[in-house]
Amino acid sequence: MSRLVSILLIILGSISGYGGDTAAADFLGDEFAVLWEEPAASYLAEKTENYTYETEIVVDDGRELGLVLYGVWSEYFYLIDKIEVYDGEKLIQSGLVEEAVIAEWGEGGSYYAESVREDGGIGVADMNFDGAGDICLQGWVANANVPCYYWLWDKETEQFSYAFCLCNAEIDTERRQITSRTRDGANAYITDYYAYDEKGELQKIRCEYEDYHALIKKTYDLTDGEWKLTGEEALEPMKG
């Protein structure tokens, strides 16, 4: 299906994102429906307009830093290609977006994050429970699943480092976990649970698969480095 047809579908309809207290979907709100899952930022419309967007983030000890996003409006999407980080008027870091795109998609092509929002869907949340704000930015325009790139603040280097990409992420401060609930086709949902290991690396520790076609929910847990089925339960048919 052509991108033009997909774009027309964006204009004709929208879908609701998932809610969450500090989730990516929290600040994105209702998102437009498209029919591809890969980044669509490899193309640019003939008529484009460069712009900047400014916001703030609080890191360790209440220190406030300024963030400047550099983007292009390409008729249907906002494409973010750079984030600059300022401590007062001093530039302390630049780039970020290219690092994330290469980490997830490899080199080559255009290094943009894309969104239907001018602010790029940027948000701040403490994703590693160290008390400092971390940066999240919508990765690309997709369906109900809202992918975001995440950069964590490093107190020692005083820099943001790219960490991971998750969809519809929510943090559970009490359990020190991150959950990602995504839709898998029309009749299934996947909820992944993540936690940091002793090395400080984020890893998936549980997966719940809800199949509303077969009306069954299966739970898998990571045990001794292996995934094991740990639970099954019946589901009620979806209403509506």
Tell me what the mean pLDDT of segment 35-42 comes to.
42
Give me the pLDDT at residue 145, please: 92
Among residues 35, 183, 39, 204, which one has the least CA distance to residue 106?
39
Beta bridge partners of 172: 177
pLDDT for the residue numbered 240: 64
Q: How far apart are CA 215 and CA 196, in angstroms?
A: 32
How many residues does the structure list for the chain?
240
Residue 154: the pLDDT is 96
Q: In this predicted model, what pLDDT tens digit does every residue of 179-200 receive, in sequence order?
A: 999 999 889 999 999 999 999 9
Model pLDDT, residue 238? 84
Of residues 124, 139, 141, 153, the one with CA closest to residue 55: 124
Q: Which residue has the tokens 């839709």?
A: 183
> 53 to each of 190, 207, 234, how far by Cα in Å?
34, 37, 48
| Predicted local confidence at residue 31, as pLDDT | 34
Counting residues of the chain whose pLDDT is more than 90, the rounded percentage is: 72
C-alpha 101/C-alpha 110 separation (Å) is 9
Closest among 126, 148, 152 to 137, alpha carbons compared = 148
Q: What are the φ and ψ backbone dihedral angles of 211, each rounded to 5 degrees?
A: -105, 105
Distances (CA, A) of 202 to 91, 164, 205, 226: 29, 9, 9, 16
Mean pLDDT value across residues 130-157: 95
Name residue 76's amino acid.
Answer: Y
Q: What is the pLDDT of residue 37?
A: 42
The percentage of residues in the chain with a pLDDT greater than 70, rounded to a whole number, is 80
Which amino acid appears at position 199 of this protein?
Answer: K
pLDDT at 141 over 80: yes
Q: Mind listing the pLDDT tens digit for each residue in 149-160?
A: 999 999 999 999
Whether the per-residue pLDDT at 19 is higher than 60: the answer is no
Which of the residue ranges 106-110, 129-133, 150-154, 221-225 would you say has the lowest mean pLDDT?
106-110
**CB under 8 Å to 53, separation ≥6 — which residues?**
68, 69, 71, 118, 119, 120, 122
Q: What is the pTM of this model?
A: 0.80
pLDDT averaged over every residue in the chain: 83
- Smallest CA-to-CA distance from 112 within 205, 195, 38 is with 38
What integer pLDDT is reported at residue 142 of this predicted model? Answer: 87
161 close to 151: Cβ distance less than 8 angstroms? yes
The tokens for 25 are 């979907």
Residue 42: its pLDDT value, please?
Answer: 45
Q: Name the residue among 40, 66, 201, 204 with its Cα closest to residue 135.
A: 66
The residues with which 134 forms a beta bridge, in sequence order, are: 125
Q: Which of 6-15, 74-83, 153-162, 221-230 has the lowest mean pLDDT?
A: 6-15
For residue 128, the 8-state DSSP code is T
Two structure tokens written together for 26: 């929290």
